[in-house]
A and B are shown apart, each in its own frame.
Chain A
């Protein structure tokens, strides 16, 4: 009796995959013929050509926000450097001629090979100078130095 149940379950399993095959091929065929069906034949997103939308709060590659005069808003207060858990931000302060601003970053480098994309720097920044809203996900380089992004690459 048990073996009969097993045999029935084996056939049922085969029918499930067969059903998936037939249903998916049905949608694949209509899509191939150019008919808009209610769903595609597969759930796959063909990545480099088709991208799925990112959530508004998604954290991607950093961006330095500029003032209207074209310089970064950063005042080199070192808060992001302090809060960064992976210690990947390096800032060197220099004196700004404008007494209202006082300091600007002579050097602002993010080592993306160390960055863990936690977003703490964005939360810590009092000037809203750093954001992580570029939507760029493919950060890659051939050497470690390639991944140390200076100001020019971040604006």
Chain B
């Protein structure tokens, strides 16, 4: 009974964290683009005259989206047209279950891992769910029965499948280096130090793999410079025939994918919830000092470190979005197949070579 309650609480907490961060990310996107371009950004949405830097803007957007007409074109396939955004949303939302937020904590003799589901193949689970999100795109393009939307959907599908290959290849290196596919063990593995001072994070072990993974995951999130499937205002994308809340779900899925990508980057390459030199009892500095901390403070620090790292990668992805122009479709394909995939293979070979030596 208590176990079920704990699991339920973890699900609710993780989803709340995820969705709140998504809402916040829409605000961050507006504000960060403004600051990058010497502007101020949305700051007019106010509640009782309080503006709070426009923090109410996401809620205003949500209310607007709710009250917009949800129009299904008469020529569209009603069932699939409705199903597609839900599929997209669901497969991204479920990935948060495998992300470890922190170490195992003990409350009243119970050991609770700060992770909704410690799946034994957590890495594959997240990858599989992200791959299934392609179905939402293909389905929405197809069910719209609009030939241009269909082309958009096909373009999106082709892009995602091409870059998934590079993503998978870069992760093979990770699988070779780390002892397990279980995400909590991957994070634990990154705890000790290399050469006595360097945290054994994925970025140190797999620098080339990190670059390939980062670019591939940027393409997976379907954002600038790889936002050809959508091209909100210029290219006819797969969600042309969507409006209101269903369209909003596609947009939310995008932002959620950014967060999932940040979580993956953090967990696989930047030590997850590990703080450099922080063990279970406290800091153990490489120059010899120790600084003992109470157990709860260590947990708070670790969860905080995870959040800071995720926030940094969200910030970085938004910054990249507001820096680069969109690539052309042939450039996209050529880059994916002639650069990322070979680089992924080279990374595997290099990793194997180092491991054998």
Q: Which residues of A contact B (CB under 8 A)?
A: 3, 10, 13-14, 16-18, 20-21, 24-25, 28, 41-44, 46
Contacts and interface: CB of A to CB of B under 8 A. Distances in A.
Interface of A is mostly: helix
Nearest to B323: A17
- Interface-central residue, B32, B34, B40, by most chain A CB under 10 Å: B40
A40 to B, nearest CB: 9
B34 A21 contact: no
Nearest to A12: B323
A43 B323 contact: no
A24 B34 CA distance: 10
Interface residues of B, number: 14
B59 interface: no
B77 to A, nearest CB: 41
Contacts of B339: 3
B35 A25 contact: yes
Interface string B22-42: 000000000010111111100
Nearest to B211: A7
B324 A10 contact: yes
Contact of B39 (A10, A25, A44): A44
A46 B40 contact: yes
A99 B351 CA distance: 105
B320 interface: yes
Nearest to A16: B323
A42 B35 contact: yes
B34 A42 contact: yes
A21 B32 contact: yes
Contacts of B324: 10, 13-14
Contacts of A10: 324
B34 A17 contact: no
A14 B35 contact: no
A42 B32 contact: no
A21 B319 contact: yes
26 contacts: A10-B324, A13-B323, A13-B324, A14-B319, A14-B323, A14-B324, A16-B323, A17-B36, A17-B319, A17-B322, A20-B36, A20-B38, A21-B35, A24-B36, A24-B38, A28-B35, A41-B40, A42-B34, A42-B35, A42-B38, A42-B39, A42-B40, A43-B38, A43-B39, A44-B39, A46-B40
Interface string B313-357: 000000110111000000000000001000000000000000000
Nearest to A15: B323
Contacts of A3: 339
Nearest to A13: B323
B40 A44 contact: yes
Contacts of A17: 36, 319, 322-323
A29 to B, nearest CB: 11
Contacts of A28: 35
B335 to A, nearest CB: 10
Contacts of B319: 14, 17-18, 21
A139 to B, nearest CB: 23
